[in-house]
Amino acid sequence: MKFSLAWLKQYLETEATAAEISARLNTLGIEVEGLEDPAERLAGFRIAKVLTAAPHPDAEKLQVLTVDTGDGNPLQVVCGAPNARAGMKGVLGLPGAVVPANGMLLRKSAIRGVESNGMMCSTRELELGDDHDGIIELPEDAPVGTAFADYRGTSPVFDVAITPNRPDCMGVYGIARDLAAAGVGTLKVPEIKPIPGVFACPVEIRIEDPEGCPAFYGRVIRGVKNGASPDWLQSALRDAGQRPISALVDITNYLMLGFGRPAHVYDLAKLNGAVVARRAKDGEQVLALNEKTYELDSSMTVIADDSGVHDIAGIMGGEHSGVSEGTTDVLLEIAYFDPERIGATGRALGLASDARTRFERGVDPAFLDGGLEMLTALIIEICEGEASEVVRAGTPPMDRAVVAYDPALAERLGGVAIAEADQRAILERLGFEVAADWTVTAPTWRPDIDGAADIVEEVVRVHGLDHVASVALPRVGGVARPTATPQQQLERRLRRAAAGRGLNEAVTWSFLPQADADHFADGNGGLWVLENPISEDMKAMRPSLLPGLLAAAKRNVDRGAAGVRLFEIGRRYLRGGAGASDERASIAVVLTGEKQSRSWATGKAATFDAFDAKAEALALLAEAGAPIEKLQVMGEAGPQFHPGQSATLRLGPKSVLARFGALHPRTLAAFDIEGPVVAAEVFLDAIPGKKNGGAFARTAYAPPALQAVTRDFAFLVPLGLAAGDLLRTIKGADKANIVEARVFDDFRGTGVPEGQKSLAIEVTLQPGEKSYTDADLKAIADSVVAAAAKLGATLRG
């Protein structure tokens, strides 16, 4: 929620600075997420007077202005605004200023051959309104040369996060009350004067759903003039992040943001018959103010007349009965709606609004009359008109929590000793009633109070959480026992191994846009999709770690990173049979950009390929304790991967431990990232554990007594034979003597028959107790050749 310091000071008499107020709000549990001074955004903009205006010599729609900036040196400015003329006063952006609307840095420049020293600005360019038809016109008494921020009277703007248990702080007045209770200033209680009705209300108001709407108050104001709201009101709303719409709508928003009390204004001419709070009918529809049509059911409360539904109660009004510039008579609605009903309706419709945020947390049920009188007074003051008598249907629930409180609890539960007199003063400043026997009655605006612990929280947070002493937890003597699980230990080893290989760890959301999740679903029984997501971009639980890493890689590439090497350890979420959840551990790697920068030795920069992804997968599998020597390279890495540049690593046909390769162009297009991009995903849940159930551990290194021997073999093999298959077969030819085999040449050219390739293999032999004889070496070589022959390989002559 946003609000300006100027708005806060309407309800709080204080000399504290914005920084001091911000610090105190944080200690009160009202987290300040941002503090912005609009004056900083308007730095470099000055009030200037147009001295002369002449046509541009080379552009029909431009003018060349001479403007006075107050320093005695008139500047020449090229301007395209139709209302620019000699004698007017406006706002000049000087060279060096940054235009708030688009971030453009103003410079001295030539426009169609004429020098221009800045820019005369419109309200849209300074983000002060939507008008872009011409430049700002200031009154005659505007002081030339004055900084526009000083002339306009900007005020710092707070951006605070309100926890769901504090509905009383969903308005600026409630925040002022908390600050006053903390000693930051004195609360200014608004004087609410009843406005007597001059005629009977011509509209019948009744309730047919008392559970969903216990109370519904209203009155008619006739003869109003709806237009633009005053500058002070528009400024307050803009500071709060709201777009001014019209005086009538702005006034209701002002009441909601100022006092946490949503209200609604109907165009009386668009209503037909009695206005009723009732249950919706199954299949009934309403076109809401957000221009979307919603289908309702009988569990939802609506405001309707004889023609149909006009309002999804407590959430959003309807388009049909909304006020317009031509509205002359209005019906004011201020009601109390059941919080649970509001929350259920909002979730069912997927509809969020400022009103819903407040109603589902619980608004003050005692503020119906006061809110209606304030709303009436503002409308008559700004829009004129005369009010009818108030019509009241139903009674709001006025239950107030009554708690038997012991002041000693502040020290016992809160950890800080506070004098009883101070506790009583704090509670009374917050609006609580404290009897002589310490029976505490909560105010109507605090539905979150339930027991004595809540009273302790109020006292301690206002007294100051910084007064609570830090006390170390007791520790049992002796050596601490390890608490990490084998899975946690495995993930720690993998994290260190990945970082040691030059990869950077990323931590991405477990939720994805549904389109991204669908792309990696792979038919695993469907996705887990949230019914009430934080946003549409966080709607589906991830079936793979790769979408999040691809988004992170794109952000880095877009910001100029030459090479990106990312990894993440986390969980992927699959949907099993009958809706069962399946959470599985994985580690994924994404590589893109430059593998090696260009240099005099290498020439062009080298990029990543599928073999780089394979190397990362094998290294991580080895660190995880997988039997690398038994792995088989097979296809079918998934539709997200390039079919000719990807594969899987398996233990048998069905046990997939990892997949790797270059990503398919369709995947790159779906994530708007330029290739090539290679990736690997290791499925930690598929790696078999040790038979004894213990953690993987390396055996002690014991160097052999005799020197190893190498022998080279060159085989002609079918073109489609994978080198890994040949290596695996050669290693198995004589396990007692062959310790390693690697490819050191792959030749396809002159001398090699068509349909074949030449693979040169270096085989490492390790003697045991005695050195090899020629006969031993020949026997081993024969076994290698015989084993290779089973794959169609022949020894090259």
Task: Reduce the secondary structure of 505-570 to three states and give it as a string.
Answer: ECCCCCEECHHHHHHCCCCCCCCCECCCCCCHHHCEECCCCHHHHHHHHHHHHHCCCCEEEEEEEE
CB-CB contact of 498 with 567 (8 Å): yes
CB atoms under 10 Å from CB of 66, counted, come to 15
User: What are the boundaries of each domain within the chain?
Assistant: 2-37+156-187, 40-152, 205-394, 402-466, 486-686, 709-795
CB-CB contact of 663 with 544 (8 Å): no
Q: Residue 630: pLDDT band by 50, 70, 90 thresholds?
A: confident
For the chain, what is the total number of helices (H) and then of strands (E)? 20, 41
CA distance 783 to 797: 18
CB atoms under 10 Å from CB of 19, counted, come to 11
Residue 197 φ then ψ, to 5°: -80, 140
Q: Residue 691: pLDDT band by 50, 70, 90 thresholds?
A: low
Model pLDDT for residues 378-428, shown as the tens digit of each residue:
999 999 999 999 999 999 999 899 999 999 999 999 999 999 999 999 999
Structure tokens at 276: 């009723």
End-to-end CA gap in the chain:
80
Q: Residue 43: pLDDT band by 50, 70, 90 thresholds?
A: confident
Looking at the whole model, is its pTM more than 0.85? Answer: no
Alpha helices, H only, 146-286: 148-152, 172-181, 231-239, 247-259
CA distance 561 to 563: 6
CB-CB contact of 335 with 314 (8 Å): yes
CA distance 420 to 434: 11
CA distance 563 to 554: 11
Model pLDDT for residues 738-761, shown as the tens digit of each residue:
999 999 999 998 889 999 999 999
Residue ranges for the binding site? Answer: 448, 454, 457-458
Residue 707's beta-bridge partner residues? none
Question: Which residue is it, tokens 């080379």?
Answer: 58
Does 715 have pLDDT greater than 90? yes
The full DSSP string for 246-271 is -HHHHHHHHHHHHHS---EEEEGGG-
Residue 784 φ then ψ, to 5°: -65, -45
Residue ranges for the binding site for Mg(2+)? Answer: 448, 454, 457-458
Structure tokens at 192: 């609410």
Q: What is the largest CA-CA distance in the chain?
A: 121
Q: Residue 480: pLDDT band by 50, 70, 90 thresholds?
A: confident
Domains 2-37+156-187 and 402-466 share a fold: yes
Please list, in sequence order, all residues whose beta carbon lies within 8 angstroms of the beta carbon of residue 779, skipping any fewer than 6 positions away: none
Comparing CA positions, the residue from 225, 259, 229 lying closest to residue 247 is 229
Domain 486-686 maps to which CATH number in 3.30.70.660, 3.30.930.10, 3.30.200.20, 2.40.110.20?
3.30.930.10
Domain 402-466, CATH 3.30.56.10 — does that match?
Answer: yes
CA angle 730, 634, 504 (to 5 degrees): 100
Domain 709-795 maps to which CATH number in 3.30.70.380, 2.40.50.100, 3.20.20.100, 3.40.980.20?
3.30.70.380
CB-CB contact of 31 with 160 (8 Å): yes
Does 696 have pLDDT greater than 60? no
CB-CB contact of 613 with 679 (8 Å): yes
CA distance 453 to 280: 40
CA distance 305 to 327: 19
CA distance 787 to 51: 96
Distances (CA, A) of 707 to 305, 419, 771: 97, 83, 9
Distances (CA, A) of 325 to 124, 130, 233, 245: 22, 17, 17, 10
Spacing of C-alpha 663 from chain mean position = 27
Alpha helices, H only, 124-245: 148-152, 172-181, 231-239
CA distance 544 to 2: 37
CA distance 145 to 128: 20
Model pLDDT for residues 779-791, shown as the tens digit of each residue:
999 999 999 999 9
**Residue 457 belongs to what H/E stretch?**
helix 452-463
Outline where DSSP puts E strands in 107-156. 108-111, 114-117, 119-120
CATH number for the region 2-37+156-187 comes to 3.30.56.10
CB-CB contact of 740 with 764 (8 Å): yes
Does 795 have pLDDT greater than 60? yes
CB-CB contact of 83 with 122 (8 Å): no
Model pLDDT for residues 419-460, shown as the tens digit of each residue:
999 999 999 999 999 999 999 999 999 999 999 999 999 999
Q: Worst-scoring range by mean pLDDT, 111-115, 130-134, 709-713?
A: 130-134
In CATH, which superfamily holds the domain spanning 205-394?
Phenylalanyl-trna Synthetase, Chain B, domain 3 (3.50.40.10)
Alpha helices, H only, 303-451: 339-349, 354-359, 368-383, 409-414, 420-429
Q: Residue 692: pLDDT band by 50, 70, 90 thresholds?
A: low
CB-CB contact of 111 with 16 (8 Å): no
Domain 40-152, CATH 3.50.30.30 — does that match?
Answer: no
Structure tokens at 275: 């206005």
Q: Worst-scoring range by mean pLDDT, 69-73, 233-237, 597-601, 640-644?
A: 597-601
Does 90 have pLDDT greater than 90? yes
Q: Residue 465: pLDDT band by 50, 70, 90 thresholds?
A: confident
Spacing of C-alpha 199 from chain mean position = 50
CB-CB contact of 659 with 680 (8 Å): yes
CB-CB contact of 729 with 788 (8 Å): yes
Structure tokens at 164: 């769901």
CB-CB contact of 321 with 267 (8 Å): yes
pLDDT for res 198: 94
